[in-house]
Amino acid sequence: MFNLLPKDEKFYEELEQLADRVVSAAKQFENIVASFPNFVGQLNSIEQDRLAARKIFRESLLRLDQAFITPLDREDILGLITEMYGVVDRVSELSQRFRLYKVKDLHPTLNSQAKNLSTIANELDRIIHGLRKQEKLKDLKPALDAVSGAMELVKRDREVFLGGLFSEISDPLEVIKKKEIHDLLEEAIERCEEATETLARVLLKRGSSSRGRYLFRRRPYWSRRIRICPLRHSAVYPLGERSPVSQLPSYEHCHKRSPDEFSRACLRLRWDLSL
């Protein structure tokens, strides 16, 4: 379809690139947890993902400031790029804690939490790549259900971790280290979930706008032909007297009458108001 003012489709490509970086960082962190304590190679990969995501984030901000028409609402694009870059940044910060704190062992729930992050990141990437295809909210219901199920697992693992943190570990420094690592991971998961919620809102607004245009096209043309001046109407017909506007058929009743009958009713009303 030809547009006089074309939209900048580059935003789709940048959103997809950011989503790919989120998936890559989540996968590398899952490998860190699985191969602990050997994780030097994964740390370098996550840092490269963070630098690439920051570059895409800055380019998207500049493009958003200069673009005249965007394929999505500006606040939605800003929210998506901010949340996805936040996921990569938190995962990078989290992975560096293993090196800085010289962590000796990991809590068992950290492995399942890393898998939950990868699950949500993969579903986010799937939804992002569906934006260009003009998919609707109902088409992505399986992905949203998978995110919801993963968040329930995150909540359960969080309760298990907090329940055994202070009872199983006696060293206060180890308690602080482990809790901060889990807090950063949970923050990354929450940012990933917020991105999926923003996408659901985008798809919902897209479907509502299309239905609104369809209903407007279906409206009869002869049901919008009357123009009434409220000031003149109140001056001619004081309070308490019956107005000729009440004699005009209602909008629902207009569908049952022919255009000629409605036009004659409008002419009678126009004549009465001119008295």
Inside any domain, residue 244: yes
Residue 15: per-residue pLDDT:
92
Residue 212: per-residue pLDDT:
42
Angle between helices 108-131 and 10-35 (to 10 degrees): 160
Q: Kindly state whether residues 117 and 231 are assigned to the same domain.
A: no
Q: Kindly state whether residues 151 and 204 are assigned to the same domain.
A: yes
| Cα–Cα–Cα angle for 230, 234, 236, rounded to 5 degrees | 120
Are 64 and 70 in contact, with CB atoms under 8 Å apart? yes
Inside any domain, residue 151: yes
Q: Where are the alpha helices (DSSP H) in the chain?
A: 10-35, 40-66, 74-100, 108-131, 141-168, 172-218, 230-236, 251-254, 259-273
Of the residues 177, 193, 218, the one at which a domain ends: 218
Instruction: Write phi, then psi, for 242 (nearest 5 degrees).
Output: -80, 130
Residue 79: per-residue pLDDT:
92
Predicted TM-score (pTM) of the model is 0.70
Are 210 and 203 in contact, with CB atoms under 8 Å apart? no
Q: Kindly state whether residues 152 and 211 are assigned to the same domain.
A: yes
Cβ neighbours for 275, distance < 8 A, ≥ 6 positions apart? 236
Q: Kindly state whether residues 50 and 168 are assigned to the same domain.
A: yes
Give the domain CATH number at 163. Answer: 1.20.58.220
Are 263 and 222 in contact, with CB atoms under 8 Å apart? yes
Are 77 and 64 in contact, with CB atoms under 8 Å apart? yes
Residue among 191, 81, 111, 82 at smallest CA distance from 147: 191
Residue among 192, 175, 33 at smallest CA distance from 98: 33
Q: Kindly state whether residues 92 and 162 are assigned to the same domain.
A: yes
Q: Kindly state whether residues 255 and 210 are assigned to the same domain.
A: no
Residue numbers in the chain where pLDDT is lower than 70:
1-8, 134-135, 207-275
Q: At 169, is the secondary structure helix, strand, or coil? A: coil
Cβ neighbours for 93, distance < 8 A, ≥ 6 positions apart? 184
Q: Kindly state whether residues 107 and 237 are assigned to the same domain.
A: no
Residue among 119, 84, 115 at smallest CA distance from 192: 84
Q: Kindly state whether residues 185 and 225 are assigned to the same domain.
A: no
Residue 103: per-residue pLDDT:
82
Inside any domain, residue 2: no
Q: The domain containing residue 232 runs over which residues?
A: 221-273
Q: Kindly state whether residues 192 and 237 are assigned to the same domain.
A: no
Inside any domain, residue 52: yes
Contacts 24+ apart (CB under 8 A), 2-5: 5/68, 5/69
Residue 4: per-residue pLDDT:
42
Task: State whether the Cα torsion 70-76-93-41 is positive or negative.
Answer: negative
Inside any domain, residue 180: yes
Inside any domain, residue 5: no
Residue 145: per-residue pLDDT:
86
| Six-digit token string for 84 | 């996805």
Inside any domain, residue 258: yes
Are 19 and 84 in contact, with CB atoms under 8 Å apart? yes
Q: How many domains does the chain have?
A: 2
Give the other-Cβ count within 10 Å of 97's Cβ.
16
Residue 226: per-residue pLDDT:
38
Q: Kindly state whether residues 209 and 226 are assigned to the same domain.
A: no
Residue 170: per-residue pLDDT:
75
CA distance 86 to 159: 24
Q: Kindly state whether residues 202 and 102 are assigned to the same domain.
A: yes
Residue 208: per-residue pLDDT:
56
Residue 266: per-residue pLDDT:
53
Inside any domain, residue 3: no
pLDDT 10s digits, 37-72: 777 788 889 999 999 999 999 999 998 888 777 888
Give Cα 58 distance to the centre of its chain: 20
Residue 273: per-residue pLDDT:
45
Give the other-Cβ count within 10 Å of 88's Cβ.
28
Residue 85: per-residue pLDDT:
95
Q: Kindly state whether residues 121 and 132 are assigned to the same domain.
A: yes
